[in-house]
Amino acid sequence: MQTAYTDTLRLEDYEVHPERGFLPAEDPLPYLEDPYYAPWEQIAADLPKLLVAQQIRRVVDAMPRLTIEGLQTERALRRAMMLLSYIGHGYVWNGDAPAERIPPNLAQPWYEVSQRLGRPPVLSYASYALDNWRRLDPNAPIELGNIVLLQNFLAGLDEEWFILIHVDIEAKAARAIRQVPIALRAAAQNDLPTLTAALQEVAAALEQMYAVLARMPEACDPYIYYHRVRPYIHGWKNNPALPNGLVYEGVDAYGGQPQQFRGETGAQSAIVPTLDGLLGVQHADDPLKTYLMEMRLYMPPAHRRFVEAVETRSTVRNVVLHSGDAALRTVYNACIEGIYRFRALHLEYAAQYIYKQQAKDPKNPTRVGTGGTPFMKYLKKHRDESGAHKV
C-alpha cells in the first residue's frame, strides 16, 4: 500500500484549479441576485461616494439587519463576505478618527458569513483580490487588459490597478501550482527527469509572475497608493490607531470584547508559502515566522490545508541535494532565484510606496504594514532567507 507521501496530491481536494491556481474555479459572482440583499449591494455600489461625503456611518447605522439564510452557494457567501468587508472597513476608517465599534446590523451578518467561510470577519486577501474581479470578455484570459474590479473603496485607476496586478499574478501562478502534485510524486519516486520538467515550469511561472509585478508602477502611483488606496485596508491588530481592537456589537461569541484582526496583505496569498513548501525554503523561528503562520488563518481553509500538505510531503530539496544531477540542481536554483527576485521587487515597492512616504495621518503609519508588522525588516528577512537556499 502506498504511503500518504507518495499518493498524488489532488488539487480539487483543496479548491485549487489547474488553470486558475488559487482563483475561484468559477468567475466571482457579480451581484447577489436575491433582492433581499439589495441594501448591501446598494451601499457597496455607493461606497466611493459615501466615503468622499463621509456619510458611510450614517447610512450603515440605518441599514436593515439582514439574515444570511438566503446565501445558499459558496459563490454567494464569498460575494457577501466581500461586500460586508468593504462596507465594514469603510465604516471603520472613514473620517478623522476610526470607529471603535461597528453596529450589530453589520457586525452580526459579517461574523456569520465569516464563520461559514472559515475566516475572520475582516477584509482579507481572499475578498480583496481572489473574489473581486470580472472579465470584460468572458472568453478571454484572466489577465490585465481583460479584468476589472467588482468592488472599490474610493475607485480610480491606482486602486483598480493595484488589486488587478495581484489577480493577474494569481492567474500566472497557476502554471507553477499545477506542477506541485507532479513534483511531489516525482521526488517521492526519485524520478529526476519528471521532477526537472516540473521545476522548469515552476521557474517559468515565477518569471511570468515577476513580469506582472514589474508592471505595478505603470498605473499605480506611490503617493496615490499611500494616501488613497492603503488607508482602508488596515486592520485592527497591532494598529496604533486602534490599540484595543474593534467591538463587533451584537456578536455573542465575542461577549462585547474588542477583537483584533490583521489587515489585508499579500502575505495572505497561498502562492509563495506553497512554493516555499515545495522547495523546502525554511524561515527561522522568530516573530516573523509566527506572523507568517498567523497569516494562514486569513486564507480560505482549503488553501491553508494545501500549503500544509505540500510542506508535509515535499522531499524535493532533499532529492536535489543528494541526486548529483546538474540539470536538476540548475532548475531548482532557478526556482529559488525566482522567489528571491519576486520578494526583492516586493521589498523595493514597500520602500517606495510606503516607507518613503510622508505620514500625515496616525491611521496610516509608514513604519507598520497593513498586516500590523514592521514590514521592511520582515520583507528583507524573507528575501534573504529565500536566497540562502540555493544549492
Q: Which of 188-192, 242-246, 381-385 has the lowest mean pLDDT?
A: 381-385
Average pLDDT over residues 243-251: 97
Average pLDDT over residues 57-76: 98
Neighbours of 206 (CB within 10 A): 26
Predicted local confidence at residue 347, as pLDDT: 82
Domain 11-387 CATH assignment equals 1.10.3720.10? no
pTM, two decimals, is 0.95
- Which contiguous run of DSSP H or E holds residue 307? helix 301-313
Average pLDDT over residues 248-266: 96
Predicted local confidence at residue 283, as pLDDT: 84
Tell me the angle at which helices 316-323 and 326-350 cross, rounded to the nearest 10 degrees: 130
How would residue 367 be classed by pLDDT, with cut points 50, 70 and 90? low
The CA dihedral of 120, 124, 129, 130, to the nearest 10 degrees, is: -30
pLDDT surpasses 80 at 227: yes
Q: Left if phi > 0, otherwise alpha if psi is -120 to 50, otherwise beta: which for 280?
A: left
Chain segment 283-314, per-residue pLDDT in tens: 887 777 888 899 999 999 999 999 999 999 99
Chain segment 11-22, per-residue pLDDT in tens: 999 999 999 999
CA angle 68, 71, 76 (to 5 degrees): 130
Domain ranges of the chain: 11-387
Per-position b or e across 17-35, b if 16+ CB within 10 A of its CB? beebbbbbeebbbeebeee
How would residue 372 be classed by pLDDT, with cut points 50, 70 and 90? low
pLDDT surpasses 90 at 53: yes
Residues 78 and 300: their CA atoms lie apart, in Å, by 10
Rounded mean pLDDT of the chain? 93
Largest CA distance in the chain: 68
Q: Which of 53-57, 64-68, 96-100, 348-352 has the lowest mean pLDDT?
A: 348-352
Average pLDDT over residues 177-195: 98
Predicted local confidence at residue 261, as pLDDT: 97
One-letter amino acid at 330 equals T
Predicted local confidence at residue 4, as pLDDT: 40
| Gyration radius of the chain over CA positions | 21
pLDDT surpasses 90 at 31: yes
